[in-house]
Amino acid sequence: MVGLIDSSEWSNLRPILAEWDQKFFPFPWRESHWNSLVYDYHALIAAYDQDKLCGFSLFNTSQGVESYHLLKIYVVQDSRKKGLASDMIKYSIKKFELKQIYLEVAVNNIAAIALYESLGFEKLLKKDSFYSDGSDAFAMLLKCD
């Protein structure tokens, strides 16, 4: 099951999401970055497995529905390959009536690239040295209509 996290739940969940980010993302944000996120310019979607929070996706919405920027998407190990990441993205498209979604993904993140391509994202270009360790990213775009 997936659903939108509203502003009242945002502050309770933020420490959990920041902890997952810290533990499981190769290039996590600083705590101050998480704390400075402005709800107005972001959308947070949660995924639940048997009513337990098991993943999230975070979008920057400042460009409006013309183009949301997918900043992070994560599903805990035990809940992967059940369609939850896919459901979060599909839910966002429907909920916000998005025209397109843009993202960057590490070139060696096979699972994430497979997820995005399964949804119809296309590679736009390779961004050399995009990450702080000098590794490269693909910029990808999904046209939703």
Binding positions for ligand COA, 66-105, rule CB under 6 A: 73-75, 80-86, 105
Q: What amino acid occupies position 66? A: E
Dihedral class, residue 67 (left if φ above 0, else alpha if ψ from -120 to 50, else beta): beta
Q: Smallest Cα–Cα separation from 116: which of 128, 105, 131?
A: 105
Q: Residue 108 and residue 137: Cα distance in Å, rounded?
A: 8
How far apart are CB 24 and ligand COA at their closest, in Å?
A: 6
Among 11-19, 28-36, 59-67, 111-119, the segment contacting ligand COA (CB under 6 A): 111-119
Q: Which of 58/144 has CB closer to ligand COA?
A: 58
Total interface residues for ligand COA by CB under 6 A: 19
Q: Which positions from 23 to 52 touch ligand COA by CB under 6 A, shown as an x/- string? A: -x----------------------------
Dihedral class, residue 105 (left if φ above 0, else alpha if ψ from -120 to 50, else beta): beta
Stated as kind and residue range, the H or E segment containing 107 is: none
Q: Which residues in this chain contact ligand COA in the complex, by CB under 6 A?
A: 24, 73-75, 80-86, 105, 109-112, 114-115, 118
